[in-house]
Chains A and B, each alone.
Chain A
Amino acid sequence: MDTEQLSVLLLDDDFHTRELFKLVFLHHSLPLETVTTIDEALDYLQTHTPSVVVVDLVMPETNGYEAFDAMRRLPSSVQMRFVATTAYHTAETPMEVRAYGFHGYLPKPFSVEDLVSELRRVTRDTN
């Protein structure tokens, strides 16, 4: 990954998705924070400004859209890119996600390659 300042916050209730992210980010020596609830995410964002926030759309307590809304209200959010991920994938989901304001979309299951290329794409779009 040719990404100097790529740092990611992952909000996902699925343990394995978080572990997989950790494996990939550790391998590329890139900073990653994983959280499971929206409160944890908002706490983290008080002190940090990751370049990309990956949000799982379907979680037991909150849905990803609400989480995205809450994070979007933070002043620092203008510097962040938001990527939605979900296993609830239908043909309409990519369009819905875009329409809602997410910058990227990562349907599960994704390959490491998918993950890398989507993160690269959204960060490249910023510049």
Chain B
Amino acid sequence: MSGKWSHTIQTRLRQLLEPRASDRDEAFRERIIRSSTVILIVLGTASFFSTIFIYKSEWGLISFPSVHLVALALCLGSFLCVENGKRMCAGWLLALAPLMGASGIVMLSRDIGIASGVFLGFATFALAPLIATLVLPRSSIYPVSVVAAILYGVSQFIVEIGDLQLIGVEPWSMFISVLMLLLVEGTLLRQLRVEFDSRLVAMSESLRQTEQAKEQAEAARVRAEQADKAKSQFLANMSHELRTPLNAIIGYDEAMIAGMAGNFTPKQIDLLKQIQRNSRRLLGLINDVLDLAKVESGTLQAVLEPMEPHVVINEIVDSVRALADERGIQILLDISEDMPEFIISDSRKLEQILVNLLSNAIKFTEAGHVAVAAELDGDEYWTLKVSDTGIGMAQDVLTYVFEPFRQVDGTNTRKYKGTGLGLAITKRLVECLEGTITVDSELGKGSVFTVRLPTMPIPQHRKTQTLTMVKLDIR
């Protein structure tokens, strides 16, 4: 039965002392306020009863029992404040309690002429700045100390001693009270030190963790770099291994077509030309896959230089005109008047983009025309539009036309040759030039691809430079 009781009391006490605040600073203050108020209430109550029953002090407006009650009320108020989350208010009440209590007891002791009360003074006054240090803002430590010093001075030296004949309890009887007070103060200071030490430990731990994280990040970066290098090396090797045999096939075949290895019948020549066409398709495919891999690995870099869009676009369109003529399709070219004479771009990538879009448009157009239009879009951008009157695409497939290996329709793959990589590569190339590509299409009516590019893109290396500078600034 008694075990159960003590257990309940322990649990209840732990509940009383456990701080509710989640923030570390606040929780520390709250814990100090809770434990201090509980200890002071216990000590104060004991002192109150000993005043009444042992020393049989008389009751009055200003008397030992009433001073005790005021101090106890302040402690209780402090505890209630902290229960309601008002930690600042609780701190001030807690600092005020020893000041009021000590002043009252010392002055009353001197007034009545009780020697022992005087000895309690200093230890009690010292509680106020100590509590301020622990639970109040830093700026309040000096004011509280000054107030404590003044009250101590006034009560101890200025208030006159009423009756010169010291009466009452012997001075040594205050021994236990002073001892208790000093123990409380020692405990509070120890608490402060424990908190300080544990914060130092936490800080060095977090420093160590930061250092470790930095090392890990560095190691990961090195690993990624190595992996990237290995990938690039693999690509280069792949490219070499695939192109070398193709060189033999295309070269021999060409030599045979050119009659360098004797004469062939027209039928044989025709077959040799088929070999030639298919080898070239295979080469294109290999180049596409390698290009895509290169783009995906991020090794693609724009070589930016000034160029004349009129000239470049005209040249590119001319280069695919033969392909269009073969299929009886017209290419219409319209370069708007407002296009600047010079822009900054990568002509090779621009060529790849436009050739990809044009050959797609030609491939998917049975009859009609393919139109290329270039115009300025605002001050800093220009657009390149490639539209056709071809088979078009349904709305739902427009979302993934730029994904690799997705030719619009599975069944199309046989009819329309290609890897389905062209648009994926085109999109990456456009992004490499800091642009965007969009598509609009209607089934059976044709498609419009719009490439929006900056007229003066910021070179990549300058961008990385600024990034590094920003990083350094943060450090």
Flag if A111 contacts B254 (CB, 8 Å).
yes
Q: How many residues of B contact A (CB 8 A)?
A: 22
Q: A87-B239, A88-B240 are in contact. Are A108 and B255 (CB under 8 A)?
A: no
In the complex, are the beta carbons of A112 and B258 less than 8 A apart?
Answer: yes
CB-CB contacts of B278-291 with A at 8 A, as 1s and 0s?
00000100000000
Given A23-B260, A109-B283, decide whether A87 and B252 contact each other with a Cβ distance below 8 A.
Answer: no
Tell me the interface secondary structure of chain B in the complex.
helix
CB A111 to nearest CB in B, in angstroms, measures 6
Which chain A residues border B240 with CB–CB below 8 Å?
58, 86-88
Selecting from A12-20, A43-51, A66-74, the interface stretch reads A12-20
Cβ-defined contact, B247 with A109, below 8 A = yes
Known A24-B260, A88-B236; contact A109-B246, beta-carbon cutoff 8 A: yes
Given A26-B260, A90-B236, are A108 and B247 neighbors across the interface (CB < 8 Å)?
yes
> 1/0 per position for B236-251, CB-CB distance to A under 8 A?
1001110111111111
User: How long is the Cα–Cα vector from A18 to B283 in the complex, in angstroms?
Assistant: 20
Chain B residue contacts of A23, Cβ below 8 A: 252, 255, 260-261
CB distance from A108 to the nearest CB of B (A): 4
The residue that A27 contacts in the complex, of B236, B248, B260, with Cβ under 8 A, is B260
- B348 interface residue (CB < 8 Å to A): yes
Question: From A58, which residue of chain B is reached at the shortest CB distance?
Answer: B240
Please give the distance in Å from B352's CB to the nearest CB on chain A: 10
Contacts of A109 in B (CB 8 A): 243, 246-247, 249-251, 283
**16 A-B residue pairings within 8 Å (CB atoms):** A16-B251, A17-B251, A19-B252, A86-B240, A87-B239, A88-B236, A88-B239, A90-B239, A108-B243, A108-B244, A108-B247, A109-B247, A111-B250, A111-B254, A112-B255, A113-B254
Inter-chain pairs besides A14-B247, A108-B244, A111-B254, 15 sampled, C-beta below 8 Å: A16-B247, A16-B248, A17-B248, A17-B251, A19-B248, A19-B252, A20-B255, A23-B255, A27-B258, A90-B239, A91-B348, A108-B247, A109-B247, A110-B251, A112-B260
Closest 9 CB pairs of A and B: A16-B248, A109-B247, A87-B243, A27-B260, A20-B251, A108-B247, A23-B255, A87-B240, A112-B254
